[in-house]
Amino acid sequence: MLATLFSLSAALPASVSTDNSWINFDVTSLLQNFWPATFDGLTFGAIYALIALGYTLVYGVLNLINFAHSEVFIMGCYGVVFTLTSLGFGPNAPNLSIWAIIFNLILAMLVGMVFSVVTAFVVERVAYRPLRRRGASRLAFLITALGASFSIQYLIFLVRGSNAEPAVTMFIPTPIFQVFGAIIDSQQLTIVIAAIVMMVATDQYIRRTRVGRGIRAVAQDPDTATLMGVNKDRIIVTTFVIGGILAGAAALFYVMKVPSGVIYNGGFVLGIKAFAAAVLGGIGNVRGALLGGLLIGVIGNYGQLLLGDSQWTDVVAFIVLVLVLLIRPSGLLGQTLGRSRA
């Protein structure tokens, strides 16, 4: 099967080879594992999509790439791991009834969400709100976002050190059915279905509720939104909180998929991939984030098979991002939350 996909920088031993080649293509591997890689990619894609929503929503209302969102996500992962560890989960899956497992997972997800939401809230209050008050330049916002991202990363580093958290396995995936000879297991199914449900809920929330209308109004014209009686500051906090909730959910699924992937800088590359997903689907577009996430997940897996190393997924995702910006910067589904339609 496919190994874990995420680069944990220091942990990877370099191959000691005298090979002087640059890039090798392994087409047979891609063809042989095409369907398993597709479904596995969709699972990762669902996780990217949940994170991508956080970028997309904040970008919609603030026109800002919230670099700290990757840390909002990784904080959620710590919340999940701490909860599960204290509930007695470890490297081996516990022998519990299915209902007990579901209860524990939901509890872990809620704690993860709280961790993420608190982080997002603090970042908004401490870093971004003072800048808004001052009417700072876009550059100032981006630099602050960068500072916030690295501050949180290295705060975690100080507390938890440079190693990944011990693995937590939640349950052993059991095969459910087969498609094109590829086994779909319970884990993949859980992640994809849960992620899609959450995304549909978010989409409906923004389309149908009063707060959702407020979010769209601020995204399209903040001053006029205020004249309609929208409390802009509260709307902005709300979008950070929604992003945090989704990141917390993504955290649970990520730990489920990559049990030993929780490390202080683990959010970074995932954040880039999630952002690439948001841009691919059309930044500001909730449905686009889902499509972009799934595509990035699948394309990344193909890249890994074709090129041979798991770290190629990151490179491939990055190349997709650059190509999208080159060919269709508004993304596949266009940008809807924001004002670009005007």
Ranges within 203-222 binding other proteins (CB under 8 A)? 210, 213-214, 216-218, 220-222
Between 98 and 158, CB nearer to other proteins: 158
Residues 313-332 as x/- pattern, contact with other proteins by CB under 8 A: -xx--x--xxx-xx--x---
What is d(CA 146, CA 123) in angstroms, rounded to the nearest whole number? 11
For other proteins, which residue of 21, 28, 95, 97 counts as binding (CB under 8 A)?
Answer: 21
CB of 73 to other proteins, least distance (A): 15
For other proteins, which residue of 6, 141, 171, 254 counts as binding (CB under 8 A)?
Answer: 141
Contact between 39 and other proteins (CB under 8 A)? no
For other proteins, which residue of 5, 61, 72, 262 counts as binding (CB under 8 A)?
Answer: 61
CB of 109 to other proteins, least distance (A): 28
What is d(CA 290, CA 244) in angstroms, rounded to the nearest whole number? 17
Helix 34-62 with 232-257: angle, nearest 10 deg:
160
3-state secondary structure the chain: CCCCCCCCHHHCCCCCCCCCCCCCCCHHHHHHCHHHHHHHHHHHHHHHHHHHHHHHHHHHHHCCCCCCHHHHHHHHHHHHHHHHHHCCCCCCCCCCCHHHHHHHHHHHHHHHHHHHHHHHHHHHHHHHHHHHHHCCCHHHHHHHHHHHHHHHHHHHHHHHCCCCCCCCCCCCCCEEEEECCEEEEHHHHHHHHHHHHHHHHHHHHHHHCHHHHHHHHHHHCHHHHHHCCCCHHHHHHHHHHHHHHHHHHHHHHHHHHCCCCCCCCHHHHHHHHHHHHHHHHCCCCHHHHHHHHHHHHHHHHHHHHHHCCCCHHHHHHHHHHHHHHHHCCCCCCCCCCCCCCC
- Subset of 83-112 contacting other proteins (CB under 8 A): none
Q: Please identify, among the stretches 14-22, 27-35, 46-54, 291-299, the one whose residues bind other proteins according to the rule CB under 8 A.
A: 14-22
Taken in order 178, 180, 185, 191, is the CA torsion positive or negative? negative
Q: Please identify, among the stretches 4-12, 38-46, 243-251, 252-260, the one whose residues bind other proteins according to the rule CB under 8 A.
A: 4-12
Contact between 294 and other proteins (CB under 8 A)? no
Between 112 and 222, CB nearer to other proteins: 222
Contact between 153 and other proteins (CB under 8 A)? yes
Contact between 169 and other proteins (CB under 8 A)? no
Between 1 and 16, CB nearer to other proteins: 16
Contact between 4 and other proteins (CB under 8 A)? no
- Subset of 226-255 contacting other proteins (CB under 8 A): 226-232, 236
How many chain residues touch other proteins (CB under 8 A)?
95
Contact between 157 and other proteins (CB under 8 A)? yes
Q: Please identify, among the stretches 74-82, 132-140, 189-197, 247-255, the one whose residues bind other proteins according to the rule CB under 8 A.
A: 132-140
Contact between 130 and other proteins (CB under 8 A)? yes
CB of 91 to other proteins, least distance (A): 26
Residue 248 and residue 79 in contact, taking contact as beta carbons nearer than 8 Å: yes
Contact between 29 and other proteins (CB under 8 A)? no
- Subset of 267-286 contacting other proteins (CB under 8 A): 268-269, 272, 275-276, 279
